[in-house]
Structure 1
Amino acid sequence: MSLKLGFCVFALSLAAYSQTQQASLRGLVQDSSGASVPNATLRLTNVDQNRSWETKANESGAYVFLQIPPGNYSLSVEVPGFKKYNRSGLTLEVAMVAEINVPLEVGQLTESIQVTGETPLLETASSTLGEVVNSITTENLPLNGRNVLQLVALTPGINVNSIYRNQTSGSGSIGSNGFSANGGRNVSSSILVDGSPQEVMGFNQPAYVPSPDAVQEFKVQTNNLSAEYGRSGGAVINMVHRSGTSKFSGVLYEFLRNDKFDANGFFNNLNGRSKGAFRFNQFGATLGGPLSKSRQRSFFFVNYEGVRTVNPGSATFSVPTEQMRNGDFSQISGIIYDPATIDAAGQRQPFAGNIIPASRHNAVGKKLISYYPTPTRSGVINNYFTQRGNRNERNVISTRIDHRFSDNHNIFGRFSRDYATNTQADQYGNIASPNPGWDGVNNNSATIDDTLIWKGWVIHGNAGYAYHTNPREPLPGRTPKPSELGFPAYVDAVAQFYLFPTISAAGYSQLGPEGSYIIGNKFETHTWTGDASRLFGSHTIKFGGTHRLNRVSNFRPNNPSGTYTFNDGFTRRVFNQTGGGDAIASMLLGLASSGQIQTEPSLALQVKYTALYIQDDWRVNDRLTLNLGLRWDVDHPQTERFDRASWFDLDAKIPLTVPGMGPFYGGIVFAGSRTPGAPRGVKDFDLNNFAPRIGLAYKITRNLVFRSGVGFFYAPTTGIGPNATNAGGISFNSSTPYTSSIDGGRTPYTTISNPFPDGFIPPKNGADGLLTFVGQGITGNFRYDRIPYSVQWNGNLQYQLPDNMLLDVAYAGNTGVKLQANAGFNQLADQYLALGNDLNRVVANPFFGILPAASSIGRATTTYGQLLLPRPWLTGLTQSFGTLAHSSYHALQTKFRKRYAGGLQFLAAYTWSKMIDDFSSVAGFLGEQNPGYTNNNRRDLDKSISALHLPHNLTFNYQWELPFGKGRRWMTRGGFTDYVFGGWIVNGVTSLQSGTPISIGSRNNTTGSFGGGQRPNSTGVASKTEGGTRDRIYGWFNKAAFADAAPFQFGNVGRFLPDNLGPGLQNWDLSILKDFRFSERMRLQFRSEFFNAFNNVNFSNPSGTTFGQPNFGQITGAERARIIQFGLKLYY
């Protein structure tokens, strides 16, 4: 088989699949009277690569060019009896559906009409909302870290947070998909590079994002997409990688930042601290051109980029004072009570002088406290400030090769690699530092794309591969054994890794890294896509689909050396009421409120996804086009290579015999070979996910178009990568809880000197079947979960103004259904809360001797409330990533755009919106607050504004070539005046946003609901304090607006405060460029870029959102102060 034939077979074999970045051009060929001219020959030529496509108009005079790479084109039309038509200056953008009617004049073919005309701004053939980011924007706008994905924020309907705004690397970064689009959830958008999806399994992060100099352009599509796009709950980001042209060209560049040029941060100044050393160097090169002698068949493009960063960072922590370390709490306002003095009424007596005598100090607790750094300022809250930094080294290389077999057959391939290492900030300077090691990314991305024109059909295929790994581990010397910290030696034998345990103390900063610090994940996405399309009369028919294979080798052990949480529970006056006490005092006494130690397996997970679609773009007449599509999405159930997957079956009868009780329903079922007759997948096939799409574009006048559409979109599921024990591994992992009390918190059961007196619960590897984890809490999947989806709709008016300007006004709506959430299913029924303290009454345990002794309810006694639970043989049952939540979004979106002409381009975008939901995100790592359900029995009561609610959002970006110098309007002679006054370009991005929602929590949970949460009560007083933002940083909330909820009540404050948003954003990024031109093709560009140019202080939301804590309502962080970056680029 010849190579060419092989590629043809490849394209044809993929004809059932697609999702394309290519453009299309369609229209009518008409005579001077407007009548259709059939059988015209049309030729479309790429002027950069001298590549051509040819087609014929049909009997109705309609023509279409499909699967055309974005670029600059000319169009020629020939038909006997008419003059030859030539049109230049056409630009086809990524995913564009352009419409150009061709007016012919009667005459001879030897005569010609020469027309220079740009592609129309009006979108007369599509109802999709979105925006194209062209190469002028990616090259000229100031980008902090030069991550092009930051530019999605220029599109109406996009909501980004501070983490996303400051994301300096797109590839492999979870935050890179952290934006919300048109009411969709964060991490739910699809990111395509050269038509291949880059998201990997887990939290949908992209494996590869090109450097700005390697991006030709990209399109952000946010609402009512064509049926060829799917598996997105937000936007589709469609990027096109640069390719070579018929001429050699490239760029060398260097960008640098130095703290000497930067402004000091607000809180640095407040604490009397300097900026600290900071160095940022980003350098690279591109080269592209022809590979063949003819300069018409093969082209190449290669890009390298390196980044070297030394980042000082700064952070503020709350640590115990020297007196507190020695037991003296006399300087705090709260009274410390002695847990050994509790009486029958549940009340305790205070320590004399608020001092815990040395004889009562717990050796392990005192040792742990000693690892807190020494305060650098007075007080108890935010009293330790540090500027320890991290170092980052990153390298990116990417290569693309395009080849043209003929005018009817084109192919390209791309391979990209992005890898980085980061040495983390050692914030405490000892083994208890929250960041004790290093992390990195290692990403690969590859694409091969083939387009074949055959007998009027355009057949297109694309195969893609994305790989991502993000290792993280501690540095040598940061791996203490538990016994070295004073824990008993038996903990050493169980610890899966030696690492400082995670120590959380309410109101104080954390000791040790997060519980799932160790990471050894590997993610892979294999994708096959393709489509076939053809013009049938006035219908452009396209059908195809996609198939993905997602794999992950998941290893991220939770709490391998244990985790222990301390609060004021054992040192407050009344054991189940707020008042007095302190978490550090409890730690000094060795009395944790909760804890556990775990072991985890390394899982090999796999999910397949298949979709088929058909799209009919029907040009009804010159004014009206209908977009009619249907898509069928199938998410295959997740499997694990060795059948270590499982799910919780609410209806399964478990073989548990307890005298006087039962039967019992609800247990874990293991997949495949481990349970006779069980399927390998953790969920049922969901085969009814049909997604119709309907849209229209109606040309009211020559310059005014109305567009509208509605469609269903099935979203990706998340949470099956970075922390996958919810999807598999149950029983192959183990979790032994720390039991703080067996009488509801009256008296301690043990101390951290002997944290697991009843032994450990070992992994059972599925041997217990339906009895797995009885006596414990279970977090897992429920088999009946379905795929989340949204219904999107829009109505849109576009008006084209003179001078290449467009005004666009749209209403966009989105409702989310079956969205993912975490919820409890073993909470006490609400009516039992009226029993009050009787729920904590100690009673004989009917499960004693039946359930494992090391489990929380395997002892001789338990509480009365435990026996009233829906499943009393479990301490808890949490459905993880269940499809339980709902959302709604409504927005007015406007944009005013000027296409590049005369040296000027700008886009102003404003969004006025409201978003409501009852659970905002399962990806709680992106900076937003993400409170869970307060009352799992009444999830509907948590309906409020969303964590992603952003009422007002205005962005304005511009690129202006000043009209001086050679080739400009004034001072055109060249020479000295050109070097001084010519070649100046001013660019900028202005962002103005309202604040984001804030959730208020309670410092203690006294509901007694066995799984519910608690918030304060509202007193009816307004929660917003008076004054400007700076006046409120130490008192964002009016404390009189809240009161502690009484025991056994949930509180009535809403999930988010509707009338007290966080501080807003005012940010101006500017760049000033100067070109020194040496020849037509060579120029040197000097760049000065100013991020937050006017040094506005953009405060973060309050860090203290727990009512009753000393830091309640305090703001301790702000976004970056002014940063100055210089760059030098040599274009050749």
Structure 2
Amino acid sequence: MQKLSLASVVFWVTAGLVLAQSDANKGQIIGTVYDQKQAVVPQARVKVRNLETGFTRELRTNEVGQYRAVLLDPGTYEVVAEAAGFAPTTVSGLVLNVGTTVSADIRLQLASTTIVVEVGETLVNVTPAASRVVDRRALQDLPINGRRFQDLALVTPTVMVDPQRGQISIAGQRGINSNVMVDGTDYNQPFFGGIRGGERSNLIFTVPQSAIQEFQAVATGYAAEYGRSTGGVLNAITRSGSNELHGEAFYQLRHKELGLKTPFNRQSLETQHQFGGAIGGPIRRDKLFFFGALERQKARTPRLVFFPQLRRITPNPNTAEAYNHFLSLETPFTQTNDGVALTARTDQQFAGGSRLTFRYNFSDGNALNSTTTGSRIEPTIDRALSNNGTEKDRTHTGSTQFTWLLSPSVVNDLRFATSYEIRPRLTNSATPQVSCVIGRYGGVDYLPTTQDDMRVQINDGLSLIRGTHTLKVGADYNRLGTFQTFGFNQFGAFALSGTDVNLHLDILSRGGNIANRFDDRSVTYRRQMGNLLASFRVHQAAIYAQDSWRVSSALTVDYGLRWEGQWNPTPEANNTSLVSKVKGFRFPIGSFDPTLIPDNPVQLMPRLGFAWTPSSSRRTVVRGHTGIFYASTPMLLFAGPMNNYRLPPGDVSIQLPRPGSTVYRDLLAVGVDLNQYSLDKLPILDLATVQRAAAGAGAAPDPFTGANLLAMASDYRNPRAFQAGLGTDTELFRNLVAGVQLHYVNTVHLEWNRDYNLPEPIIRPSDKSLRPFFGLRSGRTRPIPTLGSLWVRESSSRSMYRGLTLSTQYRSRRLQFGAFYTASQNYSYDDNERDASGVRYENSFNLAPEYGYSDLDMRHQFTGYAVASVFWGIELSATFRATTGRPIDPRTGSDSNEDLGGPDRAYKAPGVPYQRNSFRNRGYRNVDFRFLKSFPVSERARLQFSCEMFNMFNFDNVVYSGTNLNYGVGIDPGTGSPVPPPATFMRLRLPDGSYDPVNVQLGNPFQAQFGLRLIF
């Protein structure tokens, strides 16, 4: 055998992907076989072999010397090429990652001995769209706070966390419009959107980290085989067994004493234990393998109920009762966060090159006092312990994949998956909720609730290699089902509008300037009248065809077409009296049909891309892509429209007061005197009493008087994006690649809620600020006066993202790093992540000021990672992230236009509101670091000690929050003159130099974590 270096033969090897994805959870190896004179060798025999499992695929080159092995499991491969009259040549050490295509061109020699070319992993991407792979070494050795694999996506460009639900946002798109896949099957939560586990996945792992082999983040431009996303793909694969028994066991401790206090001088850090392990190996060598992983976590975090607004005022006799009540609610409590996750997998390899995989995944989470803290990190919360609850979540996921080699040039890939999730959420208190500028107390208005959903998916794709073309055709079907018991205001809810602390305390107290409790027009009361039930199904189907055409050894063109259809449920609208009031009614801004949820049967998505290597060395690649992409709609958006017009309704609330009245007076008229109840024992009013109050004394009660209702727009469509990208990568020297990438995503048909039951606004003659006024608190009536808000889910919003990414990556045996800088602009009308109700605009009759910087607009983003093996078994690794601040919307802090709706905006001139999100919050910086030392235990085993430091440099990362975001009215309505914002607007520190406690810290203060891991 003759062993040659890379420089000794004419050999190129590059790594990339086809349209950002190649065979989903698998990959491809392609190349051309040449003779010693650089002529192509047709009908050469090529054998591709996985060095870890022994999997083998045999094929021949075509008439122009090209070969392509599709649907290969990620791993390390060798390729052997043979032809009559030539020595066999072996290319060994090819690293194939998930969703990528490795190119290995081979030159045969006239010799009598076998030639072996040793190669390593390369970073040049020679395909149409850019993507980033986080491999097993990064997952195993980088510091990761919480062992949630998706968190490491933040070290890749254009990826961020959406500020509303904490889900992964890619290329400026809503988190609910991204697509997460595990082993080539859908891993999205069909009801809430985002990754399986919903918001709980931000706090617990739903797949053991030790079970993840690697994942790929694709910002834009993925293949026609994949859809249901306008915002990129996160494509993960689980580990399999191999011919060698391998495994690990670990324990990690993050103790609250191993860290610092917050910038507000409070202890906020959790004590968390995480432990578990994984094992995999052969059942029958080269044939049958197994793998399993189990991980658990137990966490306890100190929290404190604290109302910072009380520190801004001095109580007086008019406010003392409510002031003292809120003080009595300030108490420490403990938040828990426990979870377990399990993965089991088997792989069967068949003679001839076929493979069968079974996988099962289970997760369970339980968190006490976590409903209103959620993913909040700050140690204090302005919600009483009564206004909290228990979060539970359990998932079951199973998948089967059969990759069937029909011939060397025809391969079929069949995937079947089912997933089930149940999410019970319990309340700490079955009492009415009270919310105001100071905070909240009483039961959470939407608890208790239980929701479950199930997805059944079947996907089949057939790959055919014909000459220089690789064709793939296939189909995908998903059946989604859900059942829930959910409703707002189950025990009643009092809400006070505005930001005047003294006024709110006066309203809540008996006596004083406002003599009666809740006797003010700024107060609303809502009471649930439904049975909370909703159950329905959604069907999704897709057919696609795509071709990867190797025009020449330097140019590849990919093109494809995808069709998707979505069939939505039909509302159960048997409340004929209510339907007749609404259906066909001409509201000032339009009409809608509450008996209809439109289907989306025709969603066509053409896609095109190219990759060109201008020189024979293939050290530089130029790539581009464009296409149409559709996302799906989370089923939560259908829940209210499905049951609101039913008898009995599901989730429908009645609202007080009547026009021109107050909550106190409406209830007093039906015999309920709120002055007779203390603040801690407010009454749970029976439904009939509230219905009589809404109808008015002496009137025949209509049970739906004052009801707030939801419906879908008659022309509702799924989100659709036009994407385009252009970029280049260059290998500056061996193992170091630098590149630039442009992204453009223009998305239409985005969902937002609009209240149709509003009168046209007026300009009051006395209002010199010229603010449009609806006057619903002052006596003006709605178009249908007996009903409250009629929220219609429209698909008329849009967004536009433009980004430029500069990147550099280096990968060798001892050092691996990547650094990415993204400059971007993101505009939108609205960024809600499937809001259940309510609106976010100021004026439904003038939406132009809403188009501004998106909540997801992050102008500058710098991320990266590094892993280095130094000496004496020591390994150092780090991740870093720095971003500019998110936008701030300058709000008045009260319902200035009296539409009982979304936040009102400050004015910069009479009649001229500020554009949405026209101010900017503070930025964010973080460095996480890991020190790891290995101690050999045996020839095949080693024990590792690790020390991780999260927020290593203890960056404060304090951002403006709460009432410090309120600008005020901007223009004085009495004079028309500018009114400066209050001193608290964007106030960072108090006069004594300490941070204003109304603000919050993003992330954690410094905290250390220690761990032990046995690897064999």
| TM-score, normalized by the shorter chain, greater than 0.5 | yes
Contact 1:412 1:449 in 2 (8 A): yes
1:718 partner amino acid: P
Offset from partner CA, 1:448-494 (integer Å, 9 cap, x none): 1000011331000111112212211135xx4xxxxxxxxxxxxxxxx
Shift in CA distance, 429/232, structure 1 to aligned 2, threshold 3 Å: closer
The 3 A distance-change label for structure 1 pair 218 and 642 is farther
Task: Give the C-alpha shift of residue 945 in structure 1.
Answer: 0.4
1:103-114 counterparts in 2 under 5 A? 103-107=107-111, 111-114=113-116
- Equivalent residues in 2 for 1:661-676 (5 A)? 669-670=594-595
Partners of 1:1074 and 1:1086 within 8 A in 2: yes
Q: Which residue of 1 aligns with 2:188?
A: 199
Pick from 457, 461, 478 the counterpart of residue 414 of structure 2.
461
2:238 is aligned to 241
Moved more, 738-747 or 1094-1103: 738-747
Q: Relative to 1, partners in 2 of residues 1:884 and 1:116: Cα closer, same or farther, differing over 3 Å?
A: same
Alpha-carbon shift at residue 520 of structure 1 (Å): 0.5
Query: Residue 798 of structure 1 aligns to a residue in which SS?
Result: strand
With over 3 angstroms needed to count, the CA separation of the structure-2 counterparts of 1:439 and 1:736, relative to structure 1, is closer
Counterpart position of 1:904:
815
Deviation at 1:447, TM superposition (A): 0.8
In the alignment, what sits opposite 2:426?
Answer: 473
Q: Is the 8 A contact 1:647 1:782 kept in 2?
A: no
In the superposition, relative to structure 1, how do residues 454 and 88 fare at CA in structure 2: closer, same or farther (>3 Å)?
same
- Displacement of 1:777: 3.8
> Residues 774-817 of structure 1, C-alpha deviation per residue, up to 9 Å, x if partnerless?
76443221232011111111110110122311111011111111
1:932 correspondence with 2:840:
yes
The alignment status of 1:724 with 2:639, answered yes or no, reads: yes
Determine if the alignment matches structure 1 residue 995 to structure 2 residue 925: no
Task: Please name the residue that 1:520 is paired with.
Answer: 450
Which has the higher mean CA deviation after the structures are superposed, 586-595 or 214-223?
Answer: 586-595
TM-score by length of 2: 0.84
Q: Aligned residue for 1:584?
A: 505
Contact kept? 1:710, 1:793, Cα under 8 Å: yes
Give the strand-richer structure, 1 or 2.
2
Q: How does 1:988-1067 map to 2 (within 5 A)?
A: 988-1008=878-898, 1014-1018=904-908, 1052-1057=913-918, 1060-1067=919-926
Cα distance in 1 for residues equivalent to 2:761 and 2:46: 73
Alpha-carbon distance in structure 1 between the residues aligned to 2:288 and 2:932: 34
SS in structure 1 at match of 2:151: helix
Distance 2:41 2:159 in 1: 44
Q: Work out the CA distance in 2 between the residues paired with 1:1100 and 1:1106.
A: 14
Secondary structure of 1:73's aligned partner? strand
Segments of 5+ residues of structure 1 without an aligned counterpart are 1-16, 164-173, 333-353, 359-365, 376-383, 479-498, 569-577, 655-660, 671-681, 763-770, 843-855, 857-861, 965-981, 1020-1044
Provide the secondary structure at the position in 1 that maps to 2:889: coil
* Residues 176-215 of structure 1 aligned to structure 2 (within 5 Å): 178-207=167-196, 209-215=206-212
Aligned partners of 1:454, 1:1124: CA distance in 2, in Å? 54
Q: For the pair shown, which has the larger CA radius of gyration, 1 or 2?
A: 1
Indicate yes or no: 2:275 matched with 1:283.
yes
Residue type of the alignment partner of 2:399: T
| Structure-2 separation of matches of 1:646 and 1:96 | 58
Residues 1015, 534 of structure 1: alpha-carbon distance in 2 compared, 3 angstrom cutoff: same
Cα 1:580/1:192, change in 2 over 3 Å: closer
Aligned equivalent of 1:421: 366
Shift of 1:632: 0.6
Match of 2:609 in 1: 695
Deviation at 1:956, TM superposition (A): 2.0
**Deviation of residue 318 (structure 1)?**
3.7
Relative distance call for 1:430 and 1:634 in structure 2 (3 A) is closer
Query: Which amino acid is 1:552 matched to?
Result: T
**In the aligned structure 2, how far is the partner of 1:892 from the partner of 1:404?**
43
Paired residues for 1:601-612 under 5 Å = 601-612=532-543
- Residue from 206, 223, 228 that aligns with 2:225: 228
Offset at residue 741 of structure 1 (A): 5.0
> Is 1:218 aligned to 2:218, yes or no?
no
Flag the 1:162–1:918 CA change in 2: closer, same or farther, 3 A.
Answer: closer
1:561 aligns with 2:491: yes
SS at match of 1:989: strand
Summarize the Cα distance change of 1:728–1:30 in structure 2 as closer, same or farther, 3 Å threshold.
Answer: farther
* Number of matched pairs: 917
The AA in structure 1 aligned to 2:395 is N
Conservation of the 8 A alpha-carbon contact between 1:653 and 1:663: no
Shift in Å at residue 623 of structure 1?
A: 1.3
Tell me how far apart the structure 1 counterparts of residues 771 and 726 of structure 2 sit (CA, whole Å): 58
SS of 2:689 mapped into structure 1: coil
Alignment check: 8 A CA contact 1:1096 1:1121 kept: yes
Is residue 883 from structure 1 mapped to residue 795 from structure 2 by the alignment?
yes
Distance 2:156 2:574 in 1: 44
Q: Take 1:540 and 1:774, find their aligned partners in 2: how far apart are those partners?
A: 63
| Contact kept in structure 1, 2:309 and 2:501, CA below 8 Å | no
User: Structure 2: how far apart are the matches of 1:633 and 1:931?
Assistant: 30
Shifted more, 461-470 versus 237-246: the winner is 461-470
Give the alignment of 1:703-852 within 5 angstroms. 703-718=619-634, 720=636, 724-731=639-646, 732-733=649-650, 735=652, 737-740=654-657, 742-743=659-660, 748-750=665-667, 753=673, 759-761=689-691, 776-830=707-761
Give the CA deviation at 1:759: 3.5
Aligned amino acid, residue 188 of structure 2? E
- Structure 2 SS opposite 1:528: strand
Contact 1:468 1:523 in 2 (8 A): yes
Distance 1:370 1:461 in 2: 65
Structure-2 change in CA distance of 1:815 and 1:287 (3 Å)? same
Alignment check: 8 A CA contact 1:839 1:1008 kept: no
CA offsets 1:822-878 (integer angstroms, 9 cap, x no match): 112233324576698999999xxxxxxxxxxxxx9xxxxx987426x4x55644322
Q: Where does 1:173-572 land on structure 2 (aligned, <5 Å)? A: 175=166, 178-207=167-196, 209-267=206-264, 269=265, 273-274=266-267, 278-292=270-284, 295-314=285-304, 316-318=306-308, 331=314, 355-356=317-318, 371-374=325-328, 387-424=332-369, 433-455=385-407, 456-474=409-427, 478=429, 499-505=430-436, 507-567=437-497
Q: Which amino acid aligns with 1:896?
A: T
SS at match of 1:151: helix
Sort the Cα spacing of 1:987 and 1:641 in 2 relative to 1 into closer, same or farther, 3 A: farther
Return the offset for 1:434.
4.5
Q: From 87, 96, 99, give the equivalent of 2:103.
A: 99
- 1:206-233 per-position Cα deviation (integer Å, ceiling 9, x unaligned): 3374222111111011111111110012
Q: Which amino acid is 1:956 matched to?
A: G
The alpha-carbon deviation at position 369 of structure 1 amounts to: 7.0
How far residue 700 of structure 1 moved from its aligned partner, in angstroms, is 1.4
Give 2:548's aligned residue: 617
Distance in 2 (CA, whole Å) between partners of 1:877 and 1:832 is 23
Q: Assess, with a 3 A threshold, how the Cα gap between structure 1 residues 692 and 739 changes in structure 2: closer, same or farther.
A: same
In structure 2, the gaps of 5 or more residues are 1-20, 198-205, 374-379, 510-515, 675-684, 693-701, 969-981, 988-997
Q: Deviations over 1:1050-1085 (max 9, x none)?
A: x6122112xx42111121100000011133311000
From 961, 976, 986, the counterpart of 1:1113: 986
1: distance between equivalents of 2:588 and 2:438?
A: 46
Q: CA deviation at 1:319?
A: 6.4
Distance 1:649 1:55 in 2: 68
Distance in 2 between residues matched to 1:100 and 1:938, nearest whole Å = 58
Aligned with residue 944 of structure 2, among 1075, 1082, 1085: 1085
What residue identity is the alignment partner of 1:939? L
Distance in 2, matches of 1:646 and 1:406, equals: 67
Distance of 1:193 and 1:645 partners within structure 2: 45
1: CA distance between counterparts of 2:629 and 2:792? 24
Q: What is the aligned-residue RMSD (CA, Å)?
A: 3.6
Query: Cα offset for 1:937?
Result: 1.4
Q: What SS class does the counterpart of residue 689 from structure 1 fall into?
A: strand
Distance of 2:153 and 2:958 partners within structure 1: 23
1:227 to 1:318, Cα distance in 2 relative to 1, 3 A = same
Closer/same/farther in 2, CA of residues 223 and 567 from structure 1, 3 Å limit: closer
